[in-house]
Structure 1
Amino acid sequence: MTPSLIAFLTDYGLADGYVAACHGVIARIAPSARVLDVTHDVPAQDVRHGAVVLADTLPYLPPSVVLGVVDPGVGTERRAVAVVAGESVLVGPDNGLLLWAAAALGGASRAIELTAPEYRLVTGATTFDGRDVFAPAAAHLAAGLDVAALGPSVDVAALVRLPDPWLRVADETVEAEVHVVDRFGNVALAAGPAELTAAGLDEHARLRITVADRSSYVPLATSYAAVPERDPVLLIDSAGRLALAVNRGSAAADLRLQVGDHVTVSS
């Protein structure tokens, strides 16, 4: 069955008309399709953040046509692709944005380069592929088009992949990269309960957190409110990642952490 839901994510924001233009293109081509706006607040040109949001969100959606546009390479030779994963099809730039999400849906089984001119808008623009290339492709798929009609096949192994986040597990130690920081300032690491267990840290009530030359002991708990307000806590977040948080505050601000920083968790 062809998915009739289009899950739409961009870094466009809502201050301009970019999102509305894409909605309009979809409505013209596939007026019966439903569009679910995942978010349009991905930080500008932050492909990795968009990839994390898609990967965390899509497993909870029904089979969908996924329209993802975080595209700092628009207008260059980077490919436009549709990637089949499970019962969903992910449409967007071939810059790594789609593949973590495809993995979360069971893995990419097929990829198509979006080259067929009859499924594009001809506007003369080279800087708005969200409107002219990706939205039309997503809309035609939602209207029942076979993905193969959009262009030639691409070897899935040749698709652009983001580097895996850094992670190392040893006895009584987990060293992990900051994978994502959310709007609350919660700092999710590229590690989860399996890594805590492998390191022998899962039964500890408090764990030592080291960032650069700064260390402190933080409770390992199951909720933000398990500690007093403004105190830090270590927990497993809703995406299954080990995360640092501050009750009613921002761990990213208090601990001076950002994506890519390395954090050591030990006994």
Structure 2
Amino acid sequence: MSVTQPQLSDARLSLEGRVATLTLDRHDVRNALTGTALVDDIVAVADWVNACDAVSVLVITGAGSAFSAGGNVKDMAQRGGDFAGDVAEVAERYRRGIQRIPLALQGVEVPIIAAVNGPAIGAGFDLANMADLRIASHKAKFGETFLNLGIIPGDGGAWFLQRLIGYQRAFELTLSGRVIDADQAREYGIVLEVTEPEALMARVGELAGHIAAQPPKATRLTKRLMKMGGRMELPDFLDLCATFQGMCHNEPEHLDAVNAMLEKMAKK
């Protein structure tokens, strides 16, 4: 089903060859997620991707020098914007604001690749960790820096980071608040690959294109299985696999893929 692209305020969206690219476009504030319309833009794109059969991969990147600086520190200093009010007001603003991002991205049915072009700090780091894959430029830096400002990862970052690299390493990064470079992030397993800055989008495009060339319905089901595998007991999971496999065997794309492989084998 083809669905009209959403109208975005602070980001740009393109679709080419089944790969959708969302570019955070508030480089004037280093793509901060608070004090901008980026929360609404990200959530709108997540909903659109799920409804649009023409999309098989979502790439998220940043315009300018940063991937995302996370929260707007100037607003924090002034107790303004998303950070104004008493405990109940701030909590409600988080629920209606930045916490919509992890819920939306966790529900995206296609693979998400974060192309981390520059610093990903605080909530920006957490945004990158909400993707399935991360490819970073050598200019990227990563930091779970909330405690340095006397706050906690209010956007769910502590949930994502420990599942990505394990509790002990995630605990150390979160409690120290230290910033690491792209090579160290690769060593820790945060990013899959590190590229030269000028090669980042080409490499992400190559990876995204390869995934997007896979049968699209089976790709969505495979991601769903990967997400559910971490929270289900094996017998229940295998029941789900059997059902999903039955669905795949009855899809035309399965027969197309099998015939294409037989033709390729016949040519050898």
Normalized per residue, the structure richer in helix is 2
Indicate whether the TM-score tops 0.5: no
Normalized per residue, the structure richer in strand is 1
TM-score when normalising by structure 1 = 0.28
